[in-house]
């Protein structure tokens, strides 16, 4: 048994876990999760960079529908969380048979959901770019990219669910390996479809979808066959969802769906605010968002870790330990993202230069990235705060907090500042909002109410 497994067993059994062991366990889970995040971010960077070489128009086409792909992808992530959080808490209580039962029913549920979501996306894809205010020159490419993305949604849903279930057990290594492999394959497939076959924007969507399908098949196999806690051959419970598992899942996923609509809807609203600024601004905004993702990679990696650790701690009846993990990972994420923010401020020209050769897009992107560098510390706090709440099954209040932060602070300021200061005005609004959100979530996890929901 590895050191990580020994520490997780101490957590589940109620044995004392020292401060040093808590930090060690957070890093053991967090570092592979960060690697998985890095794989995802590099994949986005590759897509953006390869399309950027085609021209600012093609880049703007993807940028136009980016917020919409986030909404649809966010529904997949939220739906998977509804079942993986239950599994995490059941594993913490050492009820492995029930955990496998919930996992089975979860896979059936998320597959049905993702098929319906894909159908909706395909139906609206011809009209979406026009609804978002895109220029006629980029709407055809934008519609095609979004349609292909939606066609692969069931693949994304199963892939996300498989990785979330493994993370629920504390296994961050396999998901990280799969994401790195997906990144490498994405490079090859994107090159093939974008350049060799000359498919342009459509090729980027096809390459990424196929890379996800091929590599995550291994994660699914490992989960069903090799995972000690969730190996499906240990028993033969039903795959058909029941009222209890669906009710618990909806109690977690429902507020997360609303939050996805609220936060991603705010991103769509942001696209509508930015779109009138023109193709250069749309491309710079899209590339800058991709570039900044390297800064919040540590936060989201540690968030995956804290969701698992908090879930297992609460399942084991150890709320004191859940709070300690929340604060330890908050400190780690804040330190890492502050450092990343400083590096982004310094190397913003080089980061943008990797994505595009257009000097106007680079100059504008550098300007907004240096504004955003001042948000990274408290952005880290908000990411870990939310991940901690999800692990505890507390998603309703965080959804309300995110609604106020996104729509009142960010969109309110953006409507005032963007017409006056252009794209920089929007990023000032975003920087301000992320700092406010960090303060709000820090106050949330300081109290006890976020750990009151009982799932097991």
Give alpha helix (H) positions in 53-172.
56-92, 96-124, 128-131, 136-151, 153-168
| Residue boundaries of the structural domains of the chain | 3-451
pLDDT at 185: 92
Q: How far apart are CA 78 and CA 156, in angstroms?
A: 12
Buried b (16+ CB within 10 A) or exposed e, 65-94: bbbbbbbbbbbbbbbbbbbbbbbbbbbbbe
pLDDT at 47: 67
Q: How far apart are CA 391 and CA 81, in angstroms?
A: 9
Q: How far apart are CA 348 and CA 362, in angstroms?
A: 9
pTM of the model: 0.84
The string of pLDDT tens digits covering residues 204-222 is 899 999 999 999 999 999 9
Q: Is the CB of residue 207 less than 8 Å from the CB of residue 145?
A: no
Q: Which of the residues in the chain have pLDDT under 50?
A: none
Our CA angle for 258, 104, 120, nearest 5°, is: 40
pLDDT at 291: 87
Neighbours of 221 (CB within 10 A): 12
Count of CA atoms in the C-beta half-sphere (13 A) of 353: 5
pLDDT at 377: 97
pLDDT at 2: 80
pLDDT at 441: 96
């Amino acid at each position: 048994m590895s050191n990580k497994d020994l520490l997780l067993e101490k957590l589940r059994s109620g044995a004392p876990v020292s401060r040093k062991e808590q930090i060690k366990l957070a890093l053991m889970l967090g570092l592979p999760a960060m690697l998985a995040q890095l794989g995802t971010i590099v994949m986005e960077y590759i897509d953006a960079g390869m399309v950027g070489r085609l021209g600012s128009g093609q880049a703007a086409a993807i940028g136009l529908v980016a917020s919409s792909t986030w909404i649809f992808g966010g529904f997949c992530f939220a739906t998977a969380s509804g079942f993986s959080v239950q599994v995490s808490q059941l594993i913490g209580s050492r009820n492995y048979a029930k955990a496998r039962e919930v996992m089975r029913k979860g896979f059936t549920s998320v597959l049905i959901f993702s098929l319906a979501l894909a159908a909706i996306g395909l139906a609206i894809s011809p009209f979406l770019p026009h609804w978002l205010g895109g220029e006629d020159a980029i709407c055809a490419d934008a519609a095609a990219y979004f349609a292909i993305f939606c066609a692969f949604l069931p693949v994304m849903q199963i892939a996300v669910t498989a990785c979330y279930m493994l993370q629920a057990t504390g296994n961050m290594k396999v998901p990280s390996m799969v994401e790195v492999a997906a990144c490498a394959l994405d490079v090859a497939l994107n090159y093939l479809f974008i350049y060799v076959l000359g498919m342009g924007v459509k090729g980027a969507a096809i390459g990424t979808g196929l890379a996800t399908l091929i590599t995550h098949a291994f994660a699914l196999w490992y989960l069903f066959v090799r995972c000690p806690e969730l190996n499906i051959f240990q028993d033969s419970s039903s795959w058909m969802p029941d009222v209890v598992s669906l009710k618990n899942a909806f109690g977690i996923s429902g507020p997360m769906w609303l939050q996805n609509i609220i936060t991603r809807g705010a991103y769509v609203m942001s696209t509508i605010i930015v779109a009138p600024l023109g193709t250069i601004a749309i491309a710079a905004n899209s590339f800058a968002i991709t570039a900044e993702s390297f800064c919040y990679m540590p936060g989201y990696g540690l968030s995956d870790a804290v969701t698992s650790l908090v879930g297992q701690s609460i399942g084991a009846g150890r709320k004191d330990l859940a709070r300690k993990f929340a604060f330890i990972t908050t400190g780690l994420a804040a330190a890492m993202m502050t450092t990343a923010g400083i590096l982004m401020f310094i190397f913003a020209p080089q980061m943008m230069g990797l994505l595009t050769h257009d000097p106007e897009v680079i100059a504008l992107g550098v300007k907004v990235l240096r504004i955003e560098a001042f948000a990274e510390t408290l952005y880290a706090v908000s990411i870990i705060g939310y991940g901690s709440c999800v692990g505890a099954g507390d998603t309703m209040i965080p959804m309300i907090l995110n609604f106020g932060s996104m729509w009142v602070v960010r969109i309110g300021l953006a409507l005032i500042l963007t017409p006056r200061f252009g794209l920089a005005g929007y990023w000032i609004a975003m920087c301000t909002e992320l700092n406010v959100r960090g303060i709000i979530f820090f106050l949330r996890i300081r109290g006890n109410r976020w750990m009151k929901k009982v799932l097991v």
